Structure formats: C-alpha cells, structure tokens
Amino acid sequence: MFEVEIRGQASNSTIKTIIVTQADLKKTILELLQEHKIPVASSCMGEGICEKCIINDSVLGCLKLVSAIESWQSKVITIAYL
Ligand code: FES
C-alpha cells in the first residue's frame, strides 16, 4: 500500500489523499479517481480519445495503470481544473 496525493492546480490545494491497495494496482488512474469521487472529466468512456482525463499536465488517466504510480518519485496526481 502507498499513498497518493491528489492536487488541484486551479485551487492550489490538496483535494484528497488516497491510500492505494493491492487491488487498486490493476485499475486505471481514471477509475481510481472516479471511485474516490474525484470529479475527473471524461467523455470517451476511457478510450483515450477525448483527452479530458489528463493528469500531471500530459498523462491520460484512462490509459495509465495505478501500478505505474509506484515508480513515481513524487506520488502526486495533479488535475489542472480542480
Ligand atoms: S477519458 Fe477520454 S481520453 Fe481519457
């Protein structure tokens, strides 16, 4: 298990801290955020087309697995419009 900080760029604040479990690792980051009631935009149902689910400036949350976060030096997900 590890913690991920969800930061809103527009509000310049921490929205939430999520504790990621083993079961979360196979989910996409978009799924994780939606399960934790973080209002992430998405209009293509996670098919990688709409680009509304962008996190950390350039990563599509719907195409990136939660397991990838484990190797991030800073475990922070930044969402521009929050
Ligand atoms: S939800 Fe549309 S690109 Fe990710």
- Convert the pLDDT of each residue in 20-37 to its tens digit: 999 999 999 999 999 999
State mean pLDDT over 38-55. 95
C-alpha separations of 9 from 13, 54, 76, 78 in Å: 7, 12, 12, 6
Q: How many domains does the structure of the chain reveal?
A: 1
Ligand 1 pocket test target in 50, 56, 59 with most atoms within 8 Å of CB: 50
Centre of ligand 1 from the C-alpha of residue 43, in Å = 7
Note every long-range contact of 41-48, with CB atoms under 8 Å and residues 24 or more positions apart, other chains counting: 41/81
Query: Ligand 1 mean position to 28 CA, how many Å?
Result: 11
Q: What is the pTM of this model?
A: 0.95
Atom of ligand 1 nearest to the CA of 50: 2
User: What lines the ligand 1 site, CB under 6 Å?
Assistant: 30, 42, 44, 46, 48-53, 60, 62
| pLDDT category of residue 5 using cuts at 50, 70 and 90 | very high
Q: 78: closest CA among 2, 19, 1, 10? A: 10
Confidence band (pLDDT; 50, 70, 90) for 9? very high
Q: Which domain holds residue 30?
A: 2-79
Report the CATH number at residue 16: 3.10.20.30
